[in-house]
Structure 1
């Protein structure tokens, strides 16, 4: 009997999903790794247990370079060592777009033209990735150590199969959009396209110029670290008043769904690897932090204009209201919606996102699945609302499996 186990790790305000598909053979896919604390406290014990049972990670996908998705992978690869002699678990392939995949020229040994520019790159590399932040009403605190190696550097040094399903080139829908993983899984890529990757590269160039960098922006290894570190600090370009705090908004669901929609325009979010995971009888939509316009367009290309029913949907960008459009919700639905966040730092998820999901008429009960109790999960967990809109709130504990 076909069964998919989805483990949504407690990744603070980040993402980390461990997917295990059991049919003809076990296939295991890790999608993002949250923060270092996610890896140390939750992922590492699971991976060691899998390794002891003779299992591998068939694929590790790092959807984009935000610290809340990538940081755990840094610690994992540091501890795992070389691909040929894995200390934690065997990883058969890694998907990750770095600067070398955005920049087409083969200039591995290019030199920066002047000392000022060399120092700019050195200063960026000293920044490392942003660390996890713990926030409550009394304090705000960074936890964890700054990471001094980029994921690109660790993948290359460890000799891992890197984007090998894409010929070692960038992961984008124009390169390849259908990938088979083993005998039982097909991945249909929805994002990014070349335009999304170009937007990220242009943003990188713009930020470097702001810092006074004047040399030619060439060279793969030269910029991998600096690219990842600087882009990990990219902030959303949506106005501050666009983000909504549940504590200041107790509007009726009916009022929220009438709010205007403004799409997220973050270049890093737009570069997200989003896809449909298909087995013989099931399909799951994993949206990372992707932009809804490209997802809507690609889904219509693949499945047509009718409603597409998924066995599960991982909501984009922790339920941020700029990443789930009314147009997208016109063509997708499911019994199971996953939202990964503890609600800290960015006040995700936005209630308007959940309102748009549950407001649609349905004969089936929708499960709204969280990995933490949040202000929004508490608000939605009201009997009168749940009965009116035919949904249930579920909160998973410490990475427990949810079976599809």
Structure 2
């Protein structure tokens, strides 16, 4: 059995369409995040082009409420008329009741979760399957870890820890309002990576100069501060497992939390660290604040995916990529970018003035999807991975 993971073009965010066929012939599909508002409309259109009998999804996961993960769910599902046949057996999403430690109520009054949350998300989910696998309580790391079967695939939740949900209560309403407002913005009003104006509190980076291992190490050692954004800390992190193969999907999680989750996962299954994965989606679009040496040292994998157009925050960060490339413990890495951008193409075709091709100097390769269709990775039963993108 093989699994296809399509990392759609989702601007600065994530939208992952996962499909496979069980050994008994049952076809399965899952959506993990839906990107920003325009991405949700695009997904809706693609689903509409399927035959009505092919529109059912086993699961929708919204990892957290940042606009580049949840915005598409608002524009593609919550604020549109229902699309015939487009149904979900369950939706995993931590809403306001889960911040408070409660189960999500059924058919709540609109004001139950605050004005925006009530009107947009509770209206959509209130009388629908919502965290049913967790008895409508929070999707979070539990003791022992909760593992759910989706056909032949086992899905284990390794994050977030409950303390992150509690911390997020004070800024919940602000983030939900922000996500909804961004989802409703027309596409023409959004700035992208071609804009030289500083965005997101950051200045546009320039290509680093890396001539040797020493300079790679120096780059990797820069900017080691860890992410502290409460919304990112609430990201739902998943391990998908089948036929002794594993895929790790991390949302925008904090690296220490992913490390903790992997340690618990390994201990419960009597596995040794580093854990073997067929494919890993790096957290927070390759941010230097979410990709730590400690996290990378817990994973043995040759296939690493980064999902971002580089807009707003100019991800991926060069120190994060340097950390991935410099490790001598891991197999030769293949770094997969879902869409081309100025900032990820440095690693495929180094800018003018570099002394040599980085891919040869540091023994790695890259694959880049297209702006139109993104990147599709297919993981086979033997752990091998093929991609739809262009390799360098």
Normalised to the residue count of structure 2, the TM-score between the two structures is: 0.78
Q: Give the C-alpha shift of residue 32 in structure 1.
A: 0.2
Q: 1:241 to 1:259 in 2, by over 3 A?
A: farther
Residues 237 and 251, structure 2, Cα contact 8 Å, conserved in 1: yes
Aligned partner of 1:213 in structure 2 is: none
2:102 aligned with 1:154: no
- What is the rounded CA distance, in whole Å, between the counterparts of 1:389 and 1:232 in structure 2? 42
Residues 165 and 179, structure 1, Cα contact 8 Å, conserved in 2: no
Aligned partner of 2:225 in structure 1 is: 262
2:386 aligned with 1:389: no
Q: Give the C-alpha shift of residue 189 in structure 1.
A: 0.9
- 1:215-258 per-residue CA deviation (whole Å, 9 max, x = no partner) reads xxxxxxxxxx7772257799xxxxx9995743164353221122
2:329 aligned with 1:369: no
2:14 aligned with 1:12: no
Q: 1:227 to 1:324 in 2, by over 3 A?
A: closer
Q: Which SS does the other structure have where 1:380 is aligned? A: coil
Q: Give the C-alpha shift of residue 87 in structure 1.
A: 2.1
Alignment partner for residue 209 of structure 2, among 224, 242, 250? 250
Residues 173 and 191, structure 1, Cα contact 8 Å, conserved in 2: yes
Residues 172 and 194, structure 1, Cα contact 8 Å, conserved in 2: yes
2:158 aligned with 1:199: no
Alignment partner for residue 183 of structure 1, among 139, 151, 157? 151
- 1:201-224 per-residue CA deviation (whole Å, 9 max, x = no partner) reads 1344xxxxxxxxxxxxxxxxxxxx
Residues 27 and 57, structure 1, Cα contact 8 Å, conserved in 2: yes
Aligned partner of 2:40 in structure 1 is: 39
Aligned partner of 2:133 in structure 1 is: 165
Q: Give the C-alpha shift of residue 172 in structure 1.
A: 1.1
Q: Kindly report the root-mean-square deviation, in angstroms, between the aligned alpha carbons of the 2 structures.
A: 3.1
- What is the rounded CA distance, in whole Å, between the counterparts of 2:123 and 2:346 in structure 1? 43
- 1:39-80 per-residue CA deviation (whole Å, 9 max, x = no partner) reads 223x12432344435352100000000011011111222477
Aligned partner of 1:291 in structure 2 is: 254
- 1:349-394 per-residue CA deviation (whole Å, 9 max, x = no partner) reads 1011111111112674322111222233221114721122222111
- What is the rounded CA distance, in whole Å, between the counterparts of 1:68 and 1:111 in structure 2? 25
- What is the rounded CA distance, in whole Å, between the counterparts of 1:233 and 1:267 in structure 2? 19
Q: 1:105 to 1:403 in 2, by over 3 A?
A: closer
Deviates more, 1:174-183 or 1:18-27: 174-183
Aligned partner of 1:93 in structure 2 is: 90
Residues 246 and 375, structure 1, Cα contact 8 Å, conserved in 2: no
2:308 aligned with 1:335: no
Count how many residue pairs are aligned between Structure 1 and Structure 2: 341
Deviates more, 1:346-355 or 1:50-59: 50-59
Aligned partner of 1:323 in structure 2 is: 290
Aligned partner of 1:134 in structure 2 is: none
Aligned partner of 2:76 in structure 1 is: 76
- What is the rounded CA distance, in whole Å, between the counterparts of 2:146 and 2:292 in structure 1? 25
2:57 aligned with 1:62: no
- What is the rounded CA distance, in whole Å, between the counterparts of 1:355 and 1:318 in structure 2? 14
- What is the rounded CA distance, in whole Å, between the counterparts of 1:232 and 1:268 in structure 2? 14
- 1:70-129 per-residue CA deviation (whole Å, 9 max, x = no partner) reads 1111122247756xxx525121111111102222469967999xxxxxxxx76xx4xx9x
Residues 22 and 151, structure 2, Cα contact 8 Å, conserved in 1: no
- What is the rounded CA distance, in whole Å, between the counterparts of 1:64 and 1:176 in structure 2? 22
- What is the rounded CA distance, in whole Å, between the counterparts of 2:159 and 2:255 in structure 1? 10
Structure 1 segments of 4+ aligned residues over 6 angstroms from their partners: 105-112, 231-234
Normalised to the residue count of structure 1, the TM-score between the two structures is: 0.76
- What is the rounded CA distance, in whole Å, between the counterparts of 2:309 and 2:179 in structure 1? 23
Q: 1:110 to 1:188 in 2, by over 3 A?
A: closer
